[in-house]
Structure 1
Amino acid sequence: MEKLNTTPKVYLIGAGPGDPDLITVKAVKAIALADVILCDRLVSPEIIDRYVNKKTEIIYVGKECSKNASTPQPHINTLIVDHASQGKTVVRLKGGDISFFSNVLDELKVLKQHHISFEIIPGITAASGAAAYAGIPLTARGYATSVRFLTYYKTEILSDAYWKELGTSDDTLVFYMSKGNLNGLVDRFLAWGKLDDKKIAIIEQATTPYQKVYTSSLEDFHEKFGDKDFVSPSLVVIGKVVNLHEEFSWVETSIQEGIYFKSVTNGTLVSNNQNIIQYAV
């Protein structure tokens, strides 16, 4: 395999949304060079099995805030600096894209502070992967001229004024990390929104063998899905473009039930790699 420029000591890499075939060629080359990989939960175990050298040390630093099972960011920063300072090639591997709703800024700051060279390798973000695999073009002509990426993991994160503006906008709205507040999110649109023919889609475990897509009008959401606990990760799309899902959906709805991104159990990931260490909280 052709080698990358090995001057950078740390590679910050997006692994894509789930389907292991969606990782970039450049990411695969960097992963193959790694002495140490700090790996998030939302990374396909098949990526580890396919592309990681069996001698590479893999450190699980996943985040599951809803289960109070997250590795503290300062601890992750310390691990990156400690290993890079030993002259090792370090890969920080995250699901989706490295720059979308992640703590990459904290990691960039600590790398600059310690004068450690780095390279950022983007990945396909969850919004692109989920929308593509659900047959929902996010800026389809005649439906939306722009798209916004948001999060609603805390109810106080957006002001009433901003909600009102969102509710009347014709933009496609994509919400990350918001499944725990879905009922409240829908209530905001019912209170402030210009509903027209907008719909909501919840895409569970996008691009994986367990992908499921649920759609509804905003008015009918509570009746259809108000009591449902969607599987993590779930991405939410709101807008007129959701109406295109039924016509252009090309991935057969999975009849399988399961969890694709499993947590570390008893110190091991679901992977054939034998060099995995868990840093539990």
Structure 2
Amino acid sequence: MLAIVPPQTHPDLSQPTMIDLGKRSVVGINVSAIDYEAAVAKIISAGQRRQSMSVTALAVHGVMTGVSDANHKYRLNQFDLVCPDGQPVRWALNHLHGCELPDRVYGPELTLRLCQAAAECNVPIFLFGATTEMLDQFADRLCEKYPGLVIAGRQASRFRTLTPDERDELAESINASGAGLCFVGLGCPRQEVFTYEMRDRLSMPLVAVGAAFAFHAGMLEQAPPWMQRNGLEWFFRLTREPGRLWKRYSTTNPAFATLAILQKLGLYSARTDTGTAPEDEVLFG
């Protein structure tokens, strides 16, 4: 069972050591130098207290969406927790800041660990995004894997922008469900926009987990573990969806590597306070 250590108590030294070194700039985006254990503990603790929290897990593409858009850079740098989803993001934290993280915090894996902890700690969850079919399959598989897990509610995306009234009704519905944790699966960067915009309206952590819904519903194939360990998941996905992804990976990967090298050499400031607060948000849901 996951042990959430309350403030001002001594941690159980028999538990795995948690790594949480705070946020570090990776090409101008504040990424949390954290491992799975610490991330799960922080999120579940906030869920138990019904405390608002904004969480995402970013690979290279997610980081670069913030680098290329001043509004989105501001959003990402207001998140409570930005996990290093991609191996190159973890490598950047280690090489730029000496963090010595042994592993990334992969969104789909984080999702499963959170669901296990939620089942053990009696924290009901809410699923938002994707299609009704995908949500149903995802929910069924989660309940099979974690029998004690309570899914307080689920709602598929409308795949369009929401009116202010619809946004408020959605927030009221999620809060009223009794959930202590909400997973958001809308794809990057829409899910981060949604999480940023809704964080003050929901009394629980919102966790943007991208393709985790599709992976765990059995509707999208994951890269083999050896490719994941070696930072080649992007290549696996490219071979599956070349028409959609070739431009993304041919531009964002080299740009990320170049900026990271320049940051290491001191030729790129990588400041995290230069974004622009968005106005009149159009919320996709």
TM-score bin (small chain): 0.3 to 0.5
Higher Rg of the two aligned structures: 1
Which one has a larger percent helix, Structure 1 or Structure 2?
2
TM-score normalised over the length of structure 1: 0.33
